[in-house]
Each structure stands twice: as structure tokens, then as C-alpha cells.
Amino acid sequence: MGEKVVAGGFDLSDRQRYRDKLRQCLTGLERLLAQQRFDRPKNLMGLEIELNLAGADGLPKMLNGQVLERIASRDFQTELAMFNLEVNIAPHRLGGRVFDRLAEELRTSLAYAHRKAGEVDAGIVMIGILPTLDRDDLVTSNLSEVDRYTLLNDQIVAARGEEFALDIDGVEHLSCTSKSIVPEAACTSVQLHLQVTPSRFPDVWNAAQAVAAVQVAVGANSPFLFGRELWRESRPPVFQQATDTRPPELQAQGVRPRTWFGERWISSAYELFEENLRYFPALLPICDEEDPLEVLAAGGVPKLAELVLHNGTVYRWNRPVYGIADGVPHLRVENRVLPAGPTVSDVVANAAFYYGLVRALAEDSKPVWTRMPFETAAANFDTACRYGIDARLQWPRRGRLGGTAEVDAVSLVREELLPLAEAGLDAWGVEPADRDFYLGIIEERCRRRTNGASWQVATFHRAREAGLSRDAALAATTRRYAELSHQGEPAHTWPVGLPEPVPMR
């Protein structure tokens, strides 16, 4: 959420006052849009990566406070649990050698953080879900020592009124309960931001929703939780269930979950903010002193603090973001579907594929969202999470036939989407060398049908065949993953299996 929140209780009047302020903020947003007060096109992108802390044994380390103290950089922040960190990269203008510059900044920042973590016998592991996490790691006492996390946990627990149920039927079946939202902390992601004008927002958001499944299929990196092999990208079901304020009765009534793909294509960013107010009660009814309509009437730019805070507690996979930079309001699409890792090169390749693809699709004369039902995009997303790079997706047919047909995800990417991403990066003004190198990583993943998730699973099973116990195999897989991740070669090049003897580092 990024907001400084002071822990404390709420009384009955707080929620009504907050609801009133939310409506004022929504009116303020509507007026800003009508007055065309938003920033002009700047082609700005931004990147955040959530990270794990693990020891030389591959097990999580609850040390983010000590590590952040040593890093001493505003680029690094806490995340939900004590084994999490987040790194934020300053916005970049899309064009030129932007992806090489981005990769260099990330490598420098992460190498520095890894060295500092080493001072307390920990290390940075960039992975969707740490395979060695145990249920005992994801408990309330391991929440980061930040008021907003405690308060958010308390409010979601109170709204649900009972324990959270994690029930995921994948390669294996996981069924357990939690007294808190801390299992959400297992899920570490990459968030890709793209600043867009209000007129461009709906096309970019629709395009991002349409390709979310493809992003996950090629980028899956989260096949394990609590010792179980689940979906190739297990973050979405874990995240949804760990933040679900709905008891079974409300689920049966069709109440929307707070972690949400959505249910329709849009024609305005306003619709998403309005939906948030209509469907989701406030979790953190904290009111700002600003009167947004008075600020607007005086010619100023309102912070819309309540709207921003509420928006941060609705976990859309493509989230609308309202922000202010240099006194001018802007809108961003925040793409949240990708897991962290496996390497900087993989993360930047995923980013290049996404930014190129949404540019091309948003400018298509026959947009994909006019040729595919929204329900199909949502079903594709679940399929891609379950099967990863082996997923088969529904996609609009080419030519006059119309309708959709089932297609292998890797064939779809290689034959149709990579050329579009290439054209999109050209439209951004990205240099061909940058474009070809990073899209080449996506191409090779598809050619070899290999990504972070498939490597983890294959290496784990190789370790089990060699006689290691389940826990030992997961720990050895994690250690080997961390070693190869820090060496930096893209995951599709990694040799499957463990070196002999099994390393302790």
C-alpha cells in the first residue's frame, strides 16, 4: 500500500465518514477527468520487485529489519512478513536502451542488498514462492514490525470472522487453515507500472487483462507451498484465499473476492475506482484532513487520499493507480501478475514482452478484447496459473472465421505475440539490440518449454529420485536456485538437477 498508517481502533462513525470521503474523492476524480487535468504522455514505466530472505541452508530468515538497516536505501522497503523486502526502481522513459539500463540498475541494487544481507547470514532470493516455507513461518508473530501490516491483518481477520482456508488442488493437494493473512507473504511478485493518459487507460488496461494469462504461462515461478507441488504459478490462488474477507456464505452469494481478476472490459479508468467503492467495504477507514472538492474548486490538485488507500486494499491483477508528480495528477496501470525472478535478465525480459505487447494490442484496429469474451480471459488466467508453460489457452482466431480456438501457449507466443511485442517496442522507440536480446529470452523459454517453475519442479524430482527426503529436496532445490539466480544466466539455460555433492550454499 505504501502509506504510513498508525495502528489504532475504529469506531462506528469512522466508517461512515470514510465512505463519505470516498464518494467525495470519486467525485473529485470525475471532475479531474472531465477538466482534462491529467499529465500529457511521457512514456514512463516503473518497476517494483518483492524479495525473499533465506539462509545458506535455503530456509527463510526473519531478518528484514536488520537487513534494511544495513542497506540504508530508500529504494528498499519492508513487505508483509519479516522474510520479505521490496526494491523500487525509479521511473524510466520507454525507449532507447531502457531495458539494459534497467537490468544494470537492478543487478547493482540486488548485489548490494545481497552483500548487506550476508552480514547477518542471510541472502536475497528472487523467487515467486520460497519452496522451503513452512506453515510455522507464516504466523502473525512474523509480520513485519510496521503498523499498517498489523492493522490490515486485524481488519481483514475481523471482516472474515473466522480462520482463512487454503485449499488448492494442483499436482498435489494442499488443505490447511490460517488465523491471519500472513500466508499472503509467501507470494512475491514483480509489479510493472505504465503511466498513461486517461484516454489511453482503458485500452491499455484491457490489453493487460487479455495478456495476463500469457505473461503467467511464460513467466511462472511458484510451484511449491508448504512442501506441496501445486500449480505452476500458485501465487494467485494463495493470494486470493489468504486475503479473502468472505466466509463461505458470502462466497456462495457471489460477493467478489478482494483479490480479483475483474468481470468485464472497461471504457474508462473511472469505472474501476467506482467498482472498488461499490463492491468492497473499507478495511482501513482512515480519513485525511483534505477536502478534495475544496482543493479542486481552488484550482489545486487533490491527493484523493482515501481513494488511494482504499484502492490499495483491492488486489486487482491489473490495478488502476492515481498519483501526483511535480504537482500534476497522472494515471498508471499497475500490472501485478508476474512472480519475482528467476534472474534479473528474466525479469527484464518479462517486462519488455509486457510493455511491447500492451502497446501493440492497445493500438490494434481490431482489439483483442472486442474478439474475446472477458470470461475467456479470466479462464485463461486460471489455466495459465495451473499449467504454466504447458498451458493451452483460448484465443481469437485470425481471419474471417471469428470466435476463439484453443492454442498452445508457446505456439501463440512464438507465432503471434512475439511479433506484436516486437512492433510495440519499436513503437516505444526501443533500440533493436535491446528489443531482440530480451524478447529472445522469451522466445528461448518457449522453444525449450522451460521457465522458473518447470526448472524447480524438474530439479526437485531429480533430487527425490536421488534419495533425498521431500524437505531435503526442497531445500537443495532452493539452494541451487539461489546459486544459479545470482550467477545471472536466464533460467531456460539452467542445467536441471543438483551438482554432486549436494551443496550447502
Q: Give rounded-to-5 percent helix, strand, coil for the chain.
A: 50, 20, 35
Strands (E), 326-456: 328-339, 392-396, 404-408
| Residue 3 pLDDT exceeds 60 | no
Instruction: Report DSSP letters for 250-293, one per residue.
Output: HHHTTPPPSEE--SS--S-HHHHHHHHHHH---SS-PPPS--HH
* pLDDT per position as a tens digit, 332-367: 999 999 999 999 999 999 999 999 999 999 999 999
Residue 9 banded pLDDT, cuts 50, 70, 90: low
pLDDT at 503 over 60: no
Percent of the chain predicted with pLDDT > 70: 96
Half-sphere exposure of 312 (CA within 13 A, CB side): 19
DSSP string, 168-201: EESSSEEEEEESSSGGGGG--EEEEEEEE-TTTH
**Mean pLDDT, rounded, for 62-85:** 96
Residue 2 pLDDT exceeds 50: no
Residue 18 has pLDDT above 80, yes or no: yes
Alpha-carbon span 485 to 482, nearest angstrom: 5
Q: What is the pLDDT of residue 129?
A: 98
Q: What is the mean pLDDT of residues 190-217?
A: 98
Please give the pLDDT value at position 14.
83
pLDDT of residue 115: 98
pLDDT at 15 (0 to 100):
86
For the cut 60, the answer to whether the pLDDT of residue 87 exceeds it is: yes
What nine digits make up the cell of 294? Answer: 475544496
Question: How far does the chain reach from its first CA to its final CA, in angstroms?
Answer: 34
List pLDDT tens digits, range 89-130.
Answer: 999 999 999 999 999 999 999 999 999 999 999 999 999 999
- Cα–Cα distance measured from residue 230 to residue 127, given in angstroms and rounded to the nearest whole number: 15
* Residue 272, number of CB atoms within 10 A of its CB: 20
> Comparing 501 with 150, which gets the higher pLDDT?
150
pLDDT above 60 for 295:
yes
The predicted model gives 284-290 an average pLDDT of 92
187 close to 128: Cβ distance less than 8 angstroms: yes
Question: Mean pLDDT across the stretch 157-177?
Answer: 95
Q: Would you say 369 and 362 are in contact if contact means Cβ atoms under 8 Å apart?
A: no
Question: Mean pLDDT across the chain, nearest whole number?
Answer: 94
- Write down the pLDDT at residue 10: 67
Mean pLDDT over 449-473 rounds to: 97
What average pLDDT does the segment 83-91 reach? 95
Percent of the chain with pLDDT over 90: 90
Would you say residue 502 has pLDDT above 80?
Answer: no
What pLDDT, on the 0 to 100 scale, is given for residue 141? 92
d(C-alpha 472, C-alpha 115), whole Å = 26
